[in-house]
Amino acid sequence: MTGYFIRRLLLIIPTFLGITLMVFAITRFVPGGPIDRALAQAQAASESAEFQSSRPGDSTSILSESQLNQLREYYGFDKPLLESYVQWLGKVVQFDLGVSTRYAEPVWQTIADRLPVSLYYGFVTLVLTYMVCIPLGIWKGIKHAGTFDHLSSAVVFIGYAVPGYIVGIALLTAFASEIELFPLGGFASDDFDDFTLWEQVKDIVWHSVLPLISYMVGSFAVMTFMVKNSLMDNLAADYVRAAMARGRTFGGAVWHHALRNSLIPLATHFGNNIGIVLTGSFLIETIFNINGFGLLGYEAVVERDYPVVLGILVISSMLFLIGNILSDLCVALVDPRVRFQ
Amino acid sequence: MAANLLDVDNLSVSFTTEAGEARVLDAVSFSIARGETLGLVGESGCGKSVTSLALMRLLPQPSGHITGGDIRLDGDSLLKKSIRDMHAIRGPRIGMIFQDAMTALNPVKRIREQLKESLTLHGQKLSKAAIQARCIELLGDVGIPEPALRLDDYPHQLSGGMRQRVMIAMALAGDPDLLIADEPTTALDVTVQAQILSLIQSIQAAHGMAVIFITHDLGVVEPLCQRVAVMYAGRIVETAPAQALFRDPKHPYTQGLLNSIPRLDREPLTPLPTIEGLVPSALNMPNGCRFAPRCPRATDRCTAEAPSMQTTSDRTLACHEVSL
Ligand SMILES: Nc1ncnc2c1ncn2[C@@H]1O[C@H](COP(=O)(O)OP(=O)(O)O)[C@@H](O)[C@H]1O
Ligand SMILES: [Mg+2]
Tell me, what's the pLDDT at A104?
86
The C-alpha of B257 sits at a distance from chain A's nearest C-alpha, in angstroms, of 29
Ligand 2 geometric centre to CA of A294 (Å): 56
Mean pLDDT (chain A, rounded): 86
A80-96: average pLDDT: 89
The C-alpha of B134 sits at a distance from chain A's nearest C-alpha, in angstroms, of 16
Global model pTM greater than 0.90:
no
Interface of B with A in 138-167 (CB under 8 A): 154, 156, 167
Whether residue B91 lies within 8 A of chain A, CB to CB, comes out as: yes
Residue ID of nearest Cα to ligand 1 atom 27: B45
Number of neighbours of residue B260 by Cβ within 10 angstroms: 13
A246–B91 CB contact, under 8 Å: yes
Q: What is the ipTM of this complex?
A: 0.91
User: Could you tell me if the CB of B63 is within 6 A of ligand 1?
Assistant: yes
DSSP 3-state of A262? helix
Q: Per-residue pLDDT for A281 more than 80?
A: no
Q: Per-residue pLDDT for A59 more than 70?
A: no
Chain A interface with B: residues with Cβ < 8 Å: 145, 236-239, 241-249, 252, 256-257, 260-261, 264, 334-337
A241–B90 CB contact, under 8 Å: no
Tell me, what's the pLDDT at A219?
80
DSSP 3-state of A58? coil
What would the pLDDT profile of B105-144 be if each residue is shown by its tens digit? 999 999 999 999 999 998 788 899 999 999 999 999 999 9
Nearest CB among B60, B62, B117 relative to A246 is that of: B117
Mutate which: A246, A250, A264, vs B, most B CBs within 10 A? A246
B98–A335 CB contact, under 8 Å: no
Read off the pLDDT band of A150 (50, 70, 90).
Answer: very high
A246–B118 CB contact, under 8 Å: yes
Q: From the alpha carbon of B59, which atom of ligand 1 is closest? A: 1
Residue ID of nearest Cα to ligand 1 atom 19: B45
B13-31: average pLDDT: 93
Read off the pLDDT band of A52 (50, 70, 90).
Answer: low
Strands B37-41 and B94-97: unpaired
